[in-house]
Each structure stands twice: as C-alpha cells, then as structure tokens.
C-alpha cells in the first residue's frame, strides 16, 4: 500500500492515475484551496483530509507518506500567461513550488512526482527548475525528468508536459515508458452535438487566444 500526500490536488487526477493503473494506495491528505476543485474532488473520490494552503501548512501536521505529488500552479510559467515566473519569495502562484521544500525536508517521502507545462524547461524558467533539482539532490534524491506528449501515450491531443520523478536513496534507475502508437482519433471521442450551454463566449475565446 502506497501512502500519498497530494499537494495542489485539484480534482485528484494523480490519484485517478494510481487507481487506473491498479496501484494499491491510500491518500492520507491533500492540500488544495480552490473550492470548486474541492467539490469535484469529493464527488469523485469521497471525503479526504485537506490541509489547505500549502504556504501555511505545518509539516509536522502532515501524515507520513511514501509518495508526494506536487504539480504546482502553472499560470505564471505557461506561455498562455504573463510569465511572472516562479522565483523563490516572488509571491507568484507558480512560486509556491518552493513551499514544497519544507514538506520534503520534514517528511522525506521515498518518491516525488511533479507534472507541469513544457515552458518550465524553457529558457526563462529552466534556471529555477535546475535550482530545484539541485536542492532535491542535496536532500538525497535522484531526479529523472522528461517532456512527454499525450499523443504518444494513447490520447488524441498534442499536449506536451514536463514530468519529474525523484527517488530517495538507493533504487533501481527509473525509466520513462515507451511511446505508444496512437489508435484513437479526436473524432472518436467528441460528441456530434453539444448543448450551447457549454459554448464559450466571444470574450472568453478572445482571452484564451490573445497571444496565439
């Protein structure tokens, strides 16, 4: 049984992945502040202890766990955002990454898992990512990271993301999975007709495409 602490949990997609893979696990706690995400989380997974704002968490309150997932907010490093960055003490949402240091230093989970946008390893933000990896190494972790595309793993979407797996102490080297042939097309999963209540307004479309 793998014990999991899920920070920035959102609706619990990393928990979903463990379930879908048939990995026996227990989520001992989450850390999330978005009330709508929390409603979805509870509807999908049931009740789970929520420690709230990670910047205010006392790490001694966190139950022992084997896997710490910390896919921190991407808004300030995404190419769709304003590139405010993730510098330590910057006050940005993406800068909450550094709050994870206290969790890792205090609890020393065996495994760490992080997913974020590809731009994390772009020219502007890579120095901070490198600094993060160096800190993890100072704590005894070996890091494995790679940019993976959803279309190479059975999903009909061109979606590149950085995945970082960190393992504490002696272990067998981690190897990322091999690419798979894509057998599903986008039209295989889209509805033929969609209710207009799901349409985006012109203003919202303009917001999302302003820099495309």
- Report how far apart the first and last C-alpha atoms of the chain are (Å, whole number): 45
pTM for the full model? 0.89
Domain ranges of the chain: 2-181
**Structural tokens at position 150:** 């959803």
pLDDT at residue 82, as a whole number: 86
pLDDT at residue 211, as a whole number: 65
Beta bridge partners of 70: 7
- Find the mean pLDDT for residues 167-185: 95
Closest CA to 69 of 36, 29, 37, 19: 29
Confidence of residue 38 (pLDDT cuts 50, 70, 90): very high
Coil, strand, or helix at residue 119?
helix
Confidence of residue 140 (pLDDT cuts 50, 70, 90): very high
- Residue 205: Cβ-neighbour burial (10 angstroms; 0-12, 13-18, 19+): exposed
| Average model confidence (pLDDT) across the chain | 95
Which stretch of 4-18, 113-127, 190-204 has the lowest confidence by average pLDDT? 190-204
pLDDT at residue 119, as a whole number: 96
Active site residues: 74
**Structural tokens at position 132:** 């993060």
Q: Which fold has domain 2-181?
A: Rossmann fold (3.40.50)
| Range 138-166 burial, b when 16+ CB lie within 10 A, else e | eeebebebeebeebeeeebeeeebbebbb
Which stretch of 34-38, 165-169, 198-202 has the lowest confidence by average pLDDT? 198-202
Q: Given a cut of 70, is residue 189 above it in pLDDT?
A: yes
């Amino acid at each position: 049984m793998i014990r999991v602490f899920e920070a920035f949990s959102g609706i619990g997609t990393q928990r979903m992945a463990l379930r879908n893979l048939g990995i026996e696990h227990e989520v001992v706690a989450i850390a999330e502040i978005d009330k709508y995400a929390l409603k979805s989380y509870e509807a999908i997974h049931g009740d789970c202890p929520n420690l709230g704002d990670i910047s205010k968490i006392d790490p001694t309150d966190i139950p022992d766990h084997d896997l710490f997932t910390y896919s921190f907010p991407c808004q300030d490093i995404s190419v769709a955002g304003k590139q405010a960055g993730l510098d330590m003490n910057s006050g940005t949402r993406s800068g909450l990454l550094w709050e994870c240091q206290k969790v890792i230093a205090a609890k020393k989970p065996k495994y760490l898992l992080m997913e974020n946008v590809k731009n994390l390893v772009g020219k502007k933000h890579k120095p901070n990512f490198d600094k993060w990896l160096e800190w993890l190494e100072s704590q005894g972790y070996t890091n494995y990271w790679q940019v993976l595309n959803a279309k190479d793993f059975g999903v009909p979407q061109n979606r590149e993301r950085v995945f970082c797996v960190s393992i504490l102490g002696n272990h067998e080297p981690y190897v990322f999975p091999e690419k798979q042939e894509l057998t599903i097309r986008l039209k295989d999963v889209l509805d033929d007709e969609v209710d207009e209540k799901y349409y985006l307004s012109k203003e919202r479309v303009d917001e999302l495409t302003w820099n495309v």
